[in-house]
Amino acid sequence: MAYDPNNIFARILRGEIPNRTVYEDDFVLAFHDINPQAPTHVLVIPKGAYTDLADFSARASAEEVTGFFRAVAKIADQLGIVAPGFRALCNTGTDAHQEVPHFHLHLFAGKPLGPMLAR
- Residue 104 falls in the annotated catalytic set: yes
Q: Which of 32, 102, 104, 106 is catalytic?
A: 104
- Distance in angstroms (rounded) separating the CA atoms of residues 49 and 64: 12
The model's pLDDT over 7-47, given as tens digits with 9 standing for 90+, comes to: 999 999 999 999 999 999 999 999 999 999 999 999 999 99
The model's pLDDT over 83-112, given as tens digits with 9 standing for 90+, comes to: 999 999 999 999 999 999 999 999 999 999
Q: What is the mean pLDDT of residues 67-86?
A: 97
- pTM score: 0.95
